[in-house]
A = this chain, B = another copy of it.
Amino acid sequence: MKKAVILLSGGLDSATCLAYAKSQGFDCYALAFDYGQKHRVELHAACAIAAYFDAKIRVFKLAIDQWGGSALTDPALSIPHYDAKQTAIPVTYVPARNTIFLSIALGWAEVLQAKDLFIGVSAVDYSGYPDCRPEYIQAFQQLANLATQYGVEQGGIQLHTPLIHLSKAATIQLGIQLGVPYEKTISCYRANDLGQACGCCDSCSFRKKGFSEAGIVDPTGYV
């Protein structure tokens, strides 16, 4: 079986992405990050999802909260309610997060001799983070092959983004087909220690809308 490294936050998208990678026959190595996120409880979900799909998982400690700069990590910044009129990049943006996460995944993949990386980004129902867009992904794909021994000597690394053009509803429909236990996933930026969701942050709003549009009962536990 070919190995793949899958970024796994414990949320809806990355859980679906892991299920997809498994459905494609990969031996799955999930990578989660303990990066000082306020909703650190999501890591419990990541571990539960990895176990459900019989994937290996590493939780990598990464103290990027030491310099703040995002409402997801900085105690001085509040996580705002969803605002459909927002067009600027929101304060929940974490500087360079996906680049940092993918870079570390790339290093692990080389050591594992895995040529495939998966990330569950979507550029449809999302908060406008720059590092979720197709042009960003293409640039990282190019970089990955220039950066690594695997890229230079072994014919390349493939970055997979199976959800990038899917709406949240379409992602959920795919995940239901693949057997994703969404009740175990945590998307909320303000999830409490029990994993209960606030229902009104960006992440909750996209998730709620997704279940609604997909016509599937939302299994999320709200406070």
Distance (whole angstroms) from the CB of A95 to the closest CB of chain B? 4
- Does residue A61 face the partner (Cβ distance < 8 Å to B)? yes
Q: How many chain-A residues does the 8 Å CB contact rule pick out? A: 47
CB atoms of B136 and A146 under 8 A apart: yes
Chain B residue with the shortest CB-CB distance to A153: B89
Distance (whole angstroms) from the CB of A174 to the closest CB of chain B? 26
With A139-B142, A142-B139, A153-B89 already in contact, the answer to whether A104 and B147 are too (CB < 8 A) is no
Q: Which of B61, B95, B146, B153 contacts A63 (CB 8 A)?
A: B61
| Number of chain copies forming the complex | 2
Chain B residue with the shortest CB-CB distance to A110: B95
| Inter-chain pairs besides A95-B108, A96-B106, A100-B107, 20 sampled, C-beta below 8 Å | A60-B63, A64-B104, A67-B111, A89-B149, A89-B153, A94-B107, A95-B150, A97-B107, A98-B147, A99-B106, A99-B107, A102-B103, A103-B103, A130-B146, A130-B148, A130-B152, A136-B146, A139-B139, A139-B146, A142-B142
